[in-house]
Amino acid sequence: MNASSIDRITSDAGEVDAVTLKITERTKKIATDGTPVDELVVNVGPSHPSTHGVCRVITHVDGEIVTKAEPVIGYLHRGVEKIAENRTYLQVVPLTDRLDYVGSMYTNWAYSRSVERLAGIRVPERAEYLRVITCEMQRMASHMMSLGSTSGDSGATTAFIYSFDIRERVIEFFEDLCGSRLTYNYVRPGGVSMEVPDGWFDDILAWLPIARQSLSELDRLFFGNHIARGRLKGIGVLSAEDAVSWGASGPVARGSGVNWDLRKHDTYSVYPRFDFDVPIGSNGDAYDRARCRLFEVYESMRIIEQAIEQIEPGPIKADGIPRLIAPRPGDAYDHIESARGSLGVYLVSDGSPRPYRMKVRSPAFCNLALLPMLAEGHTLSDLVIVLGSLDPVFGEVDR
């Protein structure tokens, strides 16, 4: 890896509740050598901390070994793409906050870029810089959430606290910026909603060295720990070929050595003006995916520092945008590099003030599809590690 390039499961027969339906069930299978296998089916989730949201995994186990894992999604489906057809283009922005609710700035930005492409809106330069700064901070917060949950899944409580301490500071910066801690509604078609408060940039620059030190300690305490390495290394190995074939993106693909980052390879906004590296792994296991996220936080800090140094005074919103945006009939697609990968929004306009059709390309959905392949042959406790290493957010998966 470089910056450039358990628990035994036992179950007794008994009653089951109406929420999780059938908790356990035994089935008979025949192994390849003709011997019968006593298989246990365990429902993991949908209401369980290890599933990182409302995901249900129908898990077939032979003893402690997972023979089949079937993710069941839809528990958080709210029909956002359909609701958008009955909202104006600006009214859809708060809905995008509820997709990837761990990275709301990204979903705001991806949708806004698609609207801007569809309506021919030119974004002021200062607004582009503010988008980059806030979204790179959002990447830091999102990756800290992922690393914190990974450490928690593997029993490293201290690393969990370190990760969430960094995330909490980013959230406080966002609260100072727009008054919200989770769903921001900050990036909007044509620019951003408001100017930064006085001293905001100075506070960020003063905090970044402290965050770097915390990251170094996290790297040493967690990724250098023998137990953590044993829990993560060799678990959920994904080859580069399979990552590409399955449409994986973000740290999931880069952990397998796929050198693809939209900020570099299909660049947008003002990213060409910044010097930063794309961390990639070599083994494609849960360890490499988590370490990629750690190194990406370092790179986000570099981008933020350069952006703050380069940003100039100017308008933060495009001139002349009406409250009812009514693009000419047509369609548009735009995508950005979110914390989970390639996040895209496809919009179709019929000339009215409301989208005729909206479709979100969710990187979390594509990455989650890898779970059955990666979990097979591991223990049930390793299944939790594999799922966490894919970093799904089910608001975006289910939509």
In a domain, residue 64? The reply is: no
* Residue 282: partners with Cβ closer than 8 Å, 6 or more residues away: 1, 257, 288
Concatenate the DSSP letters of all residues of 55-115 into one string. Answer: -EEEEEEETTEEEEEEEE--TT---HHHHGGGS-TTTTHHHHHTTSTTSHHHHHHHHHHHH
pLDDT of residue 35: 62
C-alpha to C-alpha distance for 251 and 103, rounded to whole angstroms: 15
Report the length, in residues, of the chain: 399
In a domain, residue 38? The reply is: no
Contact between 41 and 59 (Cβ < 8 Å):
yes
In a domain, residue 23? The reply is: no
In a domain, residue 75? The reply is: no
Alpha helices in 98-156 (DSSP H): 104-119, 125-153
**Percentage of residues of the chain with pLDDT beyond 70:** 91
In a domain, residue 68? The reply is: no
Structure token digits, residue 86? 């009955």
Among residues 81, 78, 59, the alpha carbon closest in space to that of 68 is found at 59
C-alpha to C-alpha distance for 216 and 212, rounded to whole angstroms: 6
pLDDT of residue 74: 87
**pTM exceeding 0.95:** no
Tell me how crowded residue 366 is: count the other CB atoms within 10 A of its CB: 21
Structure token digits, residue 152? 């928690």
> pLDDT tens digit string along 103-154?
889 999 999 999 999 999 999 999 999 999 999 999 999 999 988 888 887 8
> pLDDT tens digit string along 193-247?
999 999 999 999 999 999 999 999 888 888 888 888 888 888 889 999 999 999 8
HSE-CB of 28 using CA atoms within 13 angstroms: 3
Nearest 5°: the CA angle 379, 71, 26 is: 60
In a domain, residue 360? The reply is: yes
Structural domain count of the chain: 1
In a domain, residue 231? The reply is: yes
The CATH number that applies at residue 367 is 1.10.645.10
pLDDT of residue 33: 61
> pLDDT tens digit string along 259-313?
999 999 999 999 999 999 999 988 988 999 999 999 999 999 999 999 999 999 9
Strand pairing class (187-188; 191-192): antiparallel
C-alpha to C-alpha distance for 170 and 321, rounded to whole angstroms: 31
Structure token digits, residue 303? 């981008």
pLDDT of residue 31: 54
In a domain, residue 5? The reply is: no
Among residues 170, 192, 163, 167, the alpha carbon closest in space to that of 304 is found at 170
For range 67-95, the mean pLDDT: 91
**Percentage of residues of the chain with pLDDT beyond 90:** 49
Domain that residue 86 falls in: 80-398
> pLDDT tens digit string along 360-387?
999 999 999 999 999 888 888 888 888 8
